[in-house]
Amino acid sequence: MSSFQQARIDLGAQLRQLRENAHLSGKDLAERLGWQPSKVSRIENARQTATEDDVVVWAQAVRVGPETVDGLIAQAAGLLERQDSWRQRHKSGLAALQEDIRDLESRTKLFRVFEPGVVIGLLQTAEYARHIFSKVRRLYETTDDIDAAIRVRMQRQEILYDPSRRFRFIMPEAVLRYRLAPPDVMRGQLDRLLAVTTLPNVEFGILPFEAPLPAALVNGFWIYNDSMVGVATRTKDLVLRDPDDVAFYAHAFEEFCEVAAHSDAARAVIVRVLDDYARQSPG
């Protein structure tokens, strides 16, 4: 067991003990917090990482002292800052990871996302996601919960229709052509992207092959509000909160935006790729 998972187990057990000391059931606590009861269960059983906000409201609901609250915050902050092995994290299951991401997204109003190798998760179709999760499961030897992971990923996408949130997405044209799924699945995925470009709170950009790039397309990154950046590598999931780091990635994102195709120009790239898939299809 990784140190990350053990720390998550320890925090979950402590939170459960505090709930039980307050003579609250999981359902009672969820009602007080306005959560789904399943979230309480996932945190207590170390299937979801409790955030600093989570432990603060939990502590308030069970009426513990400020010293206990400070200790819980420190534990939650330590989990979020940890640069833990993706192989170890994936052992807790694909669905659990999706729940962690969904919880973070629920606290975000402005998303800036650059993804150089795969269609951005919030924009994936269920069929495309299935092929991606299958590859992830093979690579990291995860538990076999692909159907559950897809359900959570699709639930995550409901946030796109919240007009109080703003989304800015950038992907290179190559992502539209990578054969991470069969051609019929790719065509369905491209149709989905065409639909997303019409949402009023979504800014969708594509880096065409002919675009003069300001930098090499290395790692993808997600900027959450102006406070945190998530950078995924093959072996580490980096969480960056230093203002200089956030500013660096925000600047990199704007440079990509300047050379990306947007609106009708982005849709023209998608349609061009769709036409290429159609010519490659049998019959």
pLDDT at position 205 over 80: yes
Calculate mean pLDDT across residues 24-39: 90
Contacts of 54 by beta carbon, 8 Å cutoff, 6+ apart: 43, 76, 103
Tokens 């669905």, residue located:
95
CA angle 157, 160, 161 (to 5 degrees): 115
| Residue whose tokens read 């109003």 | 109
pLDDT (tens digit per residue) in 110-150: 999 999 999 999 999 999 999 998 887 776 555 567 888 89
**Considering the chain, what is the average pLDDT of its residues?**
88
Find where tokens 């538990």 sit: 143
For residue 152, pLDDT beyond 70: yes
pLDDT-based confidence at 53, cuts 50/70/90? confident
More confident residue, 127 or 9: 127
Interhelix angle 3-21/37-44, rounded to 10 degrees, is: 120
Residue 223 · residue 111 · CB < 8 Å = yes
Q: Please indicate, yes or no, whether the overall pTM of this predicted structure exceeds 0.85.
A: no
pLDDT above 70: residue 168: yes
- Please tell me which residue, 91 or 118, carries the higher pLDDT value: 118
Q: Compute the distance between CA of residue 91 and CA of residue 94 in angstroms, rounded to an integer.
A: 8
- Structure-token pair, residue 30: 């969820």
* pLDDT beyond 70 at 247: yes
What the block records as the tokens of 223 is: 């900027």
What pLDDT, on the 0 to 100 scale, is given for residue 58?
Answer: 95
Lowest model confidence (mean pLDDT) among 133-142, 186-195, 198-207: 133-142
pLDDT computed for residue 8 by the predictor = 84
**Please, what are the domains in the chain?**
3-81 (1.10.260.40), 86-280 (3.30.870.10)
Q: With pLDDT > 90 as the criterion, what percentage of the chain qualifies? A: 60
Cα distances from 221 to residues 10, 84, 246, 248, 252, in angstroms, run 29, 17, 11, 11, 10
Binning pLDDT at 50, 70 and 90, where does residue 83 land?
Answer: very low
User: Per mean pLDDT, which of 40-44, 78-82, 213-217, 276-280 is the most reliable?
Assistant: 213-217
Percent of the chain exceeding pLDDT 70 equals: 89
CA dihedral 204, 210, 215, 220 (to 10 degrees): 40
Q: Are 137 and 86 in contact (CB under 8 A)?
A: no
